[in-house]
Structure 1
Amino acid sequence: MKNSLFNRRRFLKETATAATGMAILSSLPQQIMANPSLEPRIKFSVIGINHGHIYGMVDSVTRGGGQLVAFYAKEPDLAAAFAKRYPTAKLAANQQEILEDNSIQLILSAGIPVERAPLGVEVMKHGKDYLVDKPGITSLAQLKAVRAAQQSTKRIYSIMYSERHENRATVKAGELVKAGAIGKVIQTIGMGPHRMNTNTRPAWFFDRKYYGGIITDIASHQFDQFLFFTGSTQSEIVAAQVGNVNHPQYPEFEDFGDVMIKGNNGTGYIRVDWFTPDGLKTWGDGRLTILGTEGYIEIRKNIDIASHDGGNHLYLVNQKETKYIDCSKEPLPFGTLFVDDVLNRTETAMPQAHCLLATEMALKAQKMAKQIQIGK
């Protein structure tokens, strides 16, 4: 697990600006940033900052009325970068200091993936809620432990599925589907391509025992969207496959995966990969197609290579019209709803059962996936 300080710093810098959740930094409410004396609704802390997604998570909760009061990271360089971004937050001596602070209601984490679920169990046992980067759980054994702890403590164990919660076009699609714009949803097709940026990645990124596999990791977003848009509460994996088709220098790495799903209210297809070419202006041409009985919606999350710059593009086609919607100004309600849930013990941001079912599906698909080899 050795890794150079240079690579860690570069990794954090690039992921902080490129990751989906980070596209929202410029939209932080001015009143929060300009007036830190505003009374916070909750106090929260961070343990583990091994992925740049943590910045988007912190800013989402801050938008919802949370106050970041402390953080801990065992890597000094990562801690220093985080402290520079959030200078008012206290650097704790260890994670136990944060866990035992009764004034803290919520803990966020983007630690090394395999360490996230065990930390979440400890967080809940200490009477706090937990918001974790995906993959929030890397094995079915971890999932069983998380479910047991969540049931016994009644705390929130939430995974930040940022491709839905922090993508404005996907939020808008949810409103349109709920309003009946495309009739009953039949299928979702979710595409999650990513750019490798090999030189910026830490050692754990290339070892499946640390990140859980490509379906467990990236595809957790697409499983969340499948459940949300179809309204499915039960599902089965029809087929799944994974492979390392172009990175033999990293034998424990997977660069391609896809899945077919059948739910009790719809079907789905997922494809995830690490093949975004350097010529694209963003880290991945993420897309979601939602097929309904009366039309369809296509979301181009990060870029529209044909006609529009930037992200948050939505196309609606139904029996009445064909329409393009620029969603760049749409609100992002997750942070506020999540803080509401912490305060009110509700499930308005995302039901607990949905959160864990999305991850369970990803874990089962990963476990049953057939290994593929192309060109051999």
Structure 2
Amino acid sequence: MIRLAVAGAAHGHVRYALDEADRRAGIELVALSEPHRDDRERWTPPGVPSYADHAEMLQAHTPDVVAVCGVYGERADVVVEALHAGAHVIADKPLCTELEDLGRIAAAAATTGRHVSLMLEKRWYPATLAARRLVEDGVLGTLALISSTGPHQLRRRTRPPWFFRRDGYGDLLGDLPVHDVDLVLALTGATGGTVTGVAPRRPFADAPEFCDSGALVMTAGEVTATIEAHWLWPDASAVTAPYRMRLTGTEGVADIDWWTGEVSVRTDTPDAWRPSTPAGLRPAEQALTALAAGIAPEVATAESLAASRVALLAARSAHSGSRPLNWSLPAETPSAPRLP
């Protein structure tokens, strides 16, 4: 039995953790904390104790796992306190909004021996699992280029005020590209490279800190990856998130369309590889299954820190004239396990 607590419910992704508690007999939702009353009342299930203060919740319930889904700029403190309270952490992205906070989280995880796992749902889509298999099977030869696009609907009138402030939201490039940065790292196995961020557009006079579009370019070993991210997708569109990624190798090209769930492959040999579509996983499913078994999640602390660090470096680059910044993983960082 896992005693799960939720710390922060400022974003709808909190449902990732709540869904697991609803679906699985081995997970008990023991409490939820959220400082804003409306969000607290909206997301607290009947019969579950709720708190305005996450510290009070941690002291009262000593959970095994804490799901952190609060205001972005406040997440680092909650993650660190949850780790020191003896809990593992599963978290919505972004894990934090500052590189300095990422360092505090890394130190707390190392000191406590607890895991930090980002709920990176793109990892578990069937199309992603199929694409990772084709790369591992060598169908595309040696990867050379990766490009992705991450359109999002802003729906500005529905967003809370903190979303448009630097101390609440952080930076565009520190947020939206984290999923795709994680996939670049998983697909390439790279341990170092450079990252450059560009994010000049700040369109709102009443929210001068908010940027609605940008891109990053990262080298990952010998692979060059470009990741576009923006809040410009039309609000009226029935297609809410047409995410796509192209993998270009020395022997073929694969296009991943996460909206349709399709993976199309083109090689010099017709019908050389037909992509299968394995069953996917829910965003928090793999991490909680692993933690219940007493093992590290596939997206464990090292992977969570790595994707977050590259994205935050891209944001820093964008604020410093788009100069390239070096990134590297610690020598002891374990690689993610191969898919079964």
Normalised TM-score (structure 2)? 0.85
Distance 1:58 1:320 in 2: 46
Q: CA deviation at 1:325?
A: 5.9
Listed one character per residue, the Cα deviations across residues 288-328 of structure 1 (whole Å, up to 9, x for unaligned) are 112222222211122xxxxxxxx32222223444688685x
Partner residue of 1:13?
Answer: none
Q: 1:321 to 1:82 in 2, by over 3 A?
A: farther
Q: CA deviation at 1:102?
A: 5.7
Partner residue of 2:66?
Answer: 107
Partner residue of 2:111?
Answer: 152
- SS of aligned partner of 2:46: coil
1:73 aligns with 2:41: no
Partner residue of 1:313?
Answer: 262
> Pairwise mapping of residues 110-259 of structure 1 onto structure 2 (< 5 A)?
110-165=69-124, 167-237=125-195, 239-244=196-201, 246-259=203-216
**Alignment-mate amino acid for residue 358 of structure 1:** A
Report which stretch shifted further, 128-137 or 176-185.
176-185
Q: CA deviation at 1:178?
A: 2.3
Q: 1:348 to 1:245 in 2, by over 3 A?
A: closer
Percent identity of paired positions between Structure 1 and Structure 2: 27
Q: CA deviation at 1:55?
A: 0.6
- SS of aligned partner of 1:369: helix
Listed one character per residue, the Cα deviations across residues 192-238 of structure 1 (whole Å, up to 9, x for unaligned) are 1111101100001111222111000111112111111112122211x
Partner residue of 1:46?
Answer: 6
- SS of aligned partner of 1:169: helix
- SS of aligned partner of 2:8: strand
Distance 2:27 2:237 in 1: 35
Listed one character per residue, the Cα deviations across residues 262-281 of structure 1 (whole Å, up to 9, x for unaligned) are 11252211111111013421
Partner residue of 1:6?
Answer: none
Q: CA deviation at 1:174?
A: 2.0
Report which stretch shifted further, 176-185 or 153-162.
176-185
Instruction: Tell me if structure 2 keeps the 8 A contact 1:113–1:137.
Output: yes
Q: 1:210 to 1:187 in 2, by over 3 A?
A: same
**Alignment-mate amino acid for residue 149 of structure 2:** M
Pick aligned residue for 1:346 from 292, 295, 302: 295
Distance 2:296 2:258 in 1: 26
Q: CA deviation at 1:162?
A: 2.2
Q: CA deviation at 1:151?
A: 0.8
Q: 1:370 to 1:120 in 2, by over 3 A?
A: closer
1:355 aligns with 2:304: yes
Q: CA deviation at 1:88?
A: 4.6
Listed one character per residue, the Cα deviations across residues 96-153 of structure 1 (whole Å, up to 9, x for unaligned) are 3431256520000210001101110000001100111111111011011111111111
Partner residue of 2:231?
Answer: 274
Instruction: Tell me if structure 1 keeps the 8 A contact 2:62–2:85.
Output: no
Q: 1:296 to 1:143 in 2, by over 3 A?
A: same
- SS of aligned partner of 2:233: coil
Q: 1:271 to 1:61 in 2, by over 3 A?
A: farther
**Alignment-mate amino acid for residue 341 of structure 1:** A
Listed one character per residue, the Cα deviations across residues 66-113 of structure 1 (whole Å, up to 9, x for unaligned) are 332221112221122113xx3353324642343125652000021000
Instruction: Tell me if structure 1 keeps the 8 A contact 2:73–2:97.
Output: yes
Question: Number of aligned pairs?
Answer: 319
Q: What are the ranges of 5 or more consecutive residues in structure 2 without an aligned counterpart? A: 322-340
Q: CA deviation at 1:169?
A: 1.7
**Alignment-mate amino acid for residue 76 of structure 1:** R
Partner residue of 1:91?
Answer: 50
**Alignment-mate amino acid for residue 361 of structure 1:** V
- SS of aligned partner of 1:192: strand
**Alignment-mate amino acid for residue 82 of structure 1:** W
Q: 1:324 to 1:215 in 2, by over 3 A?
A: farther
Q: 1:279 to 1:199 in 2, by over 3 A?
A: closer
Q: CA deviation at 1:344?
A: 4.5
Partner residue of 1:17?
Answer: none
Q: 1:342 to 1:260 in 2, by over 3 A?
A: same
Q: CA deviation at 1:181?
A: 2.9
1:294 aligns with 2:243: no
Instruction: Tell me if structure 2 keeps the 8 A contact 1:107–1:129.
Output: yes
Distance 1:321 1:148 in 2: 50
Distance 2:265 2:47 in 1: 44
Listed one character per residue, the Cα deviations across residues 1-44 of structure 1 (whole Å, up to 9, x for unaligned) are xxxxxxxxxxxxxxxxxxxxxxxxxxxxxxxxxxxxxxxx4120
Q: 1:338 to 1:279 in 2, by over 3 A?
A: same
Distance 2:266 2:28 in 1: 42
Distance 2:119 2:180 in 1: 12
Q: CA deviation at 1:345?
A: 4.4
